[in-house]
Amino acid sequence: MILKTLCLFSQNVYKNRTLTDIIIENNKEFDILFIQEPSWLFIQTVPSLTSEEGDKVVDAPNYLDLLTFSRQSSNINDYPKVLMYINV
């Protein structure tokens, strides 16, 4: 598919999940959305070989109609500061 135009949207959501949801729902005409300072959510604890309490799984909001891109981080205190959502 070849695009003649590319529509971008960028917004700082200050780690607010509700604001992220509103932006995603109301900006479906954009091809790419950049979300700055996204919220990171605790998903669950999984069994661990190194910790009796287990390892925490934390992830950013995902949406069915969008591909999510960000850099990977192995440090739990260094999550990406920008997420890119691509409208498919």
In a domain, 2, yes or no: no
- Global model pTM greater than 0.85: no
In a domain, 26, yes or no: yes
Instruction: Tell me the pLDDT tens digit for each residue of 68-88.
Output: 999 877 666 788 999 999 998
In a domain, 68, yes or no: yes
**Which structural domain range is residue 14 located in?**
8-73+80-87
In a domain, 1, yes or no: no
How many domains would you assign to the chain? 1
Give the 3-state DSSP-derived string for 8-56, with helices as H, strands as E and coil as C: EEEEECCCCHHHHHHHHHHCCCCCEEEEECCCCEEEEEECCCCCCCCEE
In a domain, 3, yes or no: no
In a domain, 35, yes or no: yes
pLDDT at residue 3 is higher than 90: no
In a domain, 44, yes or no: yes
**Contact assessment for residue 29 and residue 7, using Cβ atoms and an 8 Å cutoff:** yes
Instruction: Tell me the pLDDT tens digit for each residue of 22-55.
Output: 999 999 999 999 999 998 888 889 999 998 999 8
